[in-house]
Amino acid sequence: MHIVIVKYTKALDIVDQHIFEHRAWLDTLFTRGVLLASGPLVPRTGGLLLASGMTSREELNSILLEDPFRNHHIAEYEVITFTPTKRSPHLSSLD
């Protein structure tokens, strides 16, 4: 499982120009079973993605290359990989 911290590198007015494209990309990842949750940080300096269902960290890195935020050079990513040993019964299908 991976936590992805998205850090904006541009002002929010520039981020907002690409937010709908970014959210459409996120929708495809939810459909593919890659993401479990996503949302903005508070304060809004970036966002957080909770990812699962990939075979490797390299696969996640490849997926992140498709993010419109990255393509427009308005975000950087920090990926934290961990192995959940305890989880809510609501998350029983996690890797």
Q: What is the CATH number of the domain that holds 44?
A: 3.30.70.1060
Number of domains observed in the structure of the chain: 1
What is the structure's pLDDT at 73? 97
Residue 94 inside a domain? The answer is: no
pLDDT in tens, 49-82: 999 877 688 999 999 999 999 999 999 999 999 8
How far is the C-alpha of 34 from the C-alpha of 63, rounded, in Å?
9
Q: Quote the pTM value.
A: 0.89
Domain assignment present for residue 88? The answer is no
Q: What is the model's pLDDT at position 84?
A: 83
pLDDT at 65: 95
Q: Which residue has the tokens 């997926």?
A: 63
Where in the sequence is the domain holding 74, given as residue range(s)? 2-83
Q: How far is it between the farthest Cα atoms of the chain? A: 40
Q: Are 57 and 81 in contact (CB under 8 A)?
A: yes
Interval 9-36: pLDDT, tens: 999 999 999 999 999 999 999 999 999 9
